[in-house]
Structure 1
Amino acid sequence: MNTGVKITAFAAALAATFGTAYGVGKGVGPVGGGPAEGGHGEHAEAQPSRTPEKGHAGHEEGATADTSATAALPGGLQISQDGYTLALETPTPAAGKSVLKFSIKDAAGKKVTAFTTEHGKELHFIVASRDLGTFRHLHPVKAADGTWTTPVDLPAAGGYKAFADFKPAAPGAKGVTLGADLSVPGAYAPKPLPAVAPTATVDGYQVRLGGTLDPGKAGELRLTVTRGGKPVDDLEPYLGAYGHLVALRAGDLAYLHVHPNEGGPGPDVSFTATAPSAGTYRLFLDFQHEGKVRTASFTVTTGGAKTSVPATGEATHDAGDHAHG
């Protein structure tokens, strides 16, 4: 098994942002686990790149520190950044199945129509509930005028946040992750984060999370996929890699989005991450096997610069909580 681990970071950083390295391989560290919940459609994706993809917040390698105030923030905390704005045309969708429409506007207020393809997509779009119980990784379709459209199933009333992760094709443009609030009308009862469990279980697969997550210090997170007690060593490419990770900080939903680089195809998928602060984080790992994408989700709590990671969650399979569009 390959152990390639590659370091990436939000373009701002030091201890105030996620500095993330990633790879696929067999790692060593304390082991903990969490939930997997998923109702996923089938995905056909290109073979993974063996060359690192330079990207945007959460993807770019060797990012140069930016002294601006916005650069010191993790991704997804702002609706406007670097001259671009996430404009939601449907900010109050109904509970259940609906359609979301949005666009990315430039500083002149015009809809952006040209984007750089990264990890198989021109734009990555995530919707998560404020209590982090619902996670949607969607694949919107862009119209000629720059309007993006995607179906979505939001199971309950409450607050949600949409994230657009993209890099405009304009000369000199940098990657950016924008975040905007969604509100689903109706009675709302937030749920607590899932309880501690050693593994995440979804569709008969078990995913074990091990490693450390420390504020201000890089540590390896290793996710191992098995089924029926046997390692799954033939994971399939999804978005150009053998695993796809989104991390959201509980409380403000600061966003981190990374991919493994070289190695694979399983059973281990490893990431090296630095938390921007002590606290609680929700991790969502997408992996593809036998033509279907599944999501394993974990709650990870840090406590200090040298604290090992406990991971928490429920082992359930519920299409109402985790899905792909």
Structure 2
Amino acid sequence: MKTKRTIVSSLLILGLLAGCGNSAENGQEPGHGHAAGHEADHNQGEQHAGHGTEQKAPAANLKASVAFASGSAKAKENTELRVRITDQNGAPVNQFDISHEKLLHLIIVNRDLSYFSHIHPEFKGDGTFVIQTAFPAGGTYKVFADFKPAGGSGTTWSEWVDVGGTEGEHVPVTPDSSLVKQVDDKEIELSMSGVKAKEEVLLTFEIRDAKTKEGINDLEPYLGAVGHVVILSEDAGQYLHVHPLDEKATGPKAQFATSFPKSGIYKIWGQFQHKGKVFTVPFVVKVN
């Protein structure tokens, strides 16, 4: 999964990563444990680390920014989102390693974490990635850009952005009373080996047929692995992107090892693929 792809720059100048149209102010820390989340809630550009079992420090001195092509975005309308990555001198970064089949993973959530999107912009040169997307309602969203500079370690930048239009109803992020969820025709149960901050925890997703309760053992690779897990703290200040322990597993269990950086409420999204369809299952847990 670490095949290197070298991309030659073309000429474009666009605004960049993790948010939309705001200047990027960043902070960085080395990863630790199986996945590290970093508190960075500046309402500007932020850098986090935490990619499964990778433990190298994030690439230093990179900058990223996000912008809408039209200058702004409106709810329920397609808009072009541009992510641009530069070095400390402002020069575009054009060489990236492929990470789980993609050069850039873009995670977008709204303020109360009720909306989640995992998409993959296309590289256009000059350090810039572009994608067409739409937001379901007006309000504030956080954009996380997850990438690997060539020869470097996994790096994530994030930024809050504003979307015009009527806001949806805000729902409190409340821990689930049961860690069993049904998505379409599947029943997914989450088991956790512990709920203490700063201690390694094993997350086990067991995926069954919702009607027969039989385990599903023919899961298909999603982005090169049995599944992917994204975890955010209630305020979206802590970010974890966790890869499975056994990427070639096919179910019914998929296991992920991580650690929560601090106590509090976290939302966990597990993503898997079966019969050609990707499904996402969310859980909310409290960490002591």
TM-score under structure 1 normalisation? Answer: 0.68
Q: Give the match for residue 170 of structure 2.
A: 190
1:10-53 CA-to-partner distances (Å, cap 9, x unmatched) read 8334799459xxxxxxxxxxxxxxxxxxxxxxxxxxxxxxxxxx
Residues 161 and 182, structure 1, Cα contact 8 Å, conserved in 2: yes
Q: Specify whether residues 109 and 239 from structure 1 end up closer, same or farther in structure 2 by C-alpha distance, changes over 3 A only.
A: same
Query: Structure 1 residues 302, 203: closer, same or farther in 2, change over 3 A?
Result: same
Choose from 96, 121, 140 the match for 1:159: 140
Give runs of aligned pairs for residues 85-164 of structure 1, distance below 5 A: 85-90=63-68, 92-98=72-78, 99-164=80-145
1:281 aligns with 2:266: yes
Deviations 1:104-130, CA, capped at 9 Å, x for gaps: 121121222211111111111111112
Q: For 1:269, which of 254, 264, 272 is the aligned residue?
A: 254
Sequence identity percentage: 33
1:217-258 Cα distance to aligned partner (Å, 9 max, x none): 112111111112111100000111001100011114321111
The answer to whether the aligner puts 1:226 opposite 2:208 as a matched pair is: yes
SS of residue paired to 1:97: coil
What one-letter code is carried by the residue in structure 1 that aligns with 2:55? A
Aligned with 2:240: secondary structure? strand
Distance between the aligned counterparts of 2:245 and 2:153, measured in 1?
20
Secondary structure at the residue paired with 2:112? Answer: coil
CA distance in 2, matches of 1:190, 1:209: 25
Tell me, which stretches of 5 or more residues in structure 2 are unaligned? 1-28, 39-47
Cα shift at 1:58: 2.1
2:84 alignment partner, SS class: strand
- 2:51 is the alignment partner of 1:59: yes
Deviation per residue, 1:113-162 (Å, 9 max, x gap): 21111111111111111210000000111113332111223111111111
> SS of 1:96's equivalent?
coil
Matches of 1:259 and 1:162, distance apart in 2: 20
Query: 1:216 maps to which residue?
Result: 198
Amino acid at match of 2:154: G
Identify which of 240, 264, 280 aligns with 1:256. 240
Q: 2: distance between equivalents of 1:295 and 1:16?
A: 20
Aligned to 1:174: 153
The offset of 1:209, in angstroms, is 0.7
| 2:229 counterpart of 1:245 | yes
Deviation readout 1:92-111 (Å, 9 max, x if unpaired): 42111322112112112122
Moved more, 290-299 or 198-207: 198-207
Q: Does the aligned pair in 2 maintain the 1:11–1:60 contact within 8 Å?
A: no
289, 295, 298: which one aligns with 2:280: 295
* Structure-1 separation of matches of 2:230 and 2:123: 22
Q: Stretches of 4+ moved more than 6 A in 1?
A: none
Q: Contact 2:188–2:207 at 8 Å: present in 1 too?
A: yes
Question: How far does residue 266 in structure 1 lie from its aligned partner after superposition?
Answer: 0.3
Higher relative contact order (CA 8 A, sep 6+): 1
Question: Structure 2 vs 1, CA of residues 109 and 125 (structure 1 numbering), >3 Å: closer, same or farther?
Answer: same
- Preserved contact between residue 52 and residue 241 of structure 2 (Cα < 8 Å): no
Verify the 8 A CA contact 2:35 2:49 in the aligned structure 1: no
How many angstroms apart in 2 are the aligned matches of 1:62 and 1:146?
24
- Residue 202 of structure 1, aligned match among 165, 169, 183: 183
Amino acid at match of 2:159: A
Q: Give the length in aligned residue pairs.
A: 242
CA contact (8 A) 1:17 1:275 kept: yes
